[in-house]
Structure 1
Amino acid sequence: MSFDKTRRPATEQEARALASALRLRILRLCLDRALTNKEIAARLGLNPATTLHHVRTLVATGFLAAQQERRGTRGAREVPYLATGKSWTLDVYGAGVEGSGQAMIEAFLDEVRLADPAEPRVSRLGLRLDKSQLQELRDRVAELLDDFASRPRASEGEPYSIFVAVYPDRSRE
């Protein structure tokens, strides 16, 4: 999700790669720890062959980077993959690819279902905003998220995810 006008517009290929909830979840899994295709598949409860297709797409578009090859427990060659952070630098909405927003919502729902119901701190707010207030809200949210995204990762910290959606509330029209 991008509220920030300074993000580079995604190419059609990049936007298509990110228009998949499964690929977004793979990026999240590999955010700060390199995982092999087999490890990714196990965490997602999928067949490694299915996962490999998605991993290859993310590598080809620069969202995942192969790390140094290693040997597995039985001596097999394993390639771990790490997210590059590129997705945060792109605006996917101008690429003309359907499904980007829906993929983010589906990835969020899949991830939040795994959380302890007492754990997520959620808030919901209804507002009436004019165009300048809406832009101010978007700019301030983008500034806050960009600030935290640019900070060095705390190696001892717990992993957290943030999902923000600003949308027209058609139910109150």
Structure 2
Amino acid sequence: MDLLLLLFSAIWYILPAYVANAVPCILGGGRPVDLGKNFFDGNRIIGNGVTYRGTFFGILFGIITGILQHFIVILYMDPQSVFNYGLTGYIILGFLLGTGALFGDMLGSFIKRRLKLNQGQSAPLLDQMTFIVFALIFAYPLYQQPVNLMVILLVISPIIHFSSNIIAYKLHLKKVWW
């Protein structure tokens, strides 16, 4: 598989996770998942940045992305391609990748609170990698991908995450650029 096709395949596969991870910045807010509670160390469990609404819409848009991918495959790509998981498959994949991404983001927030980092403080690689690693873990039992595709995702995701954060910051969707 040539590098360009591998790159496209990797982004196509993980797209529901990227969308699910981005949507809470736009549609989040409201009640935090940790309900404002503190952990044993006296710090918030997760913090105000992870909310029920953001989690719901993140997962929902992960699923919607999967559905859109299905129709793109049917309309514009070879339906016999490796990208054709079928409608049900794309719904499940969107759910798994979206849920995994948001779980990873929550875990990252949990770890940041244990490290006494405030919401919005940068934690290089932790901010960029937990969502992608857990998206891959959640989807893996049903959708195993080649190792080279997963390695590509681990390499490009911090770059994509960083770039999208800068764009979100410039659009006033985020308070910090990282």
Q: Shared fold (TM-score greater than 0.5)?
A: no
Of Structure 1 and Structure 2, the greater strand share is in 1
TM-score range relative to shorter protein: under 0.3
Bigger RCO (CA 8 Å, 6+ sep):
1
Q: Radius of gyration: which is bigger? A: 1
Tell me the TM-score normalised to structure 2 length.
0.23
Tell me the TM-score normalised to structure 1 length.
0.24
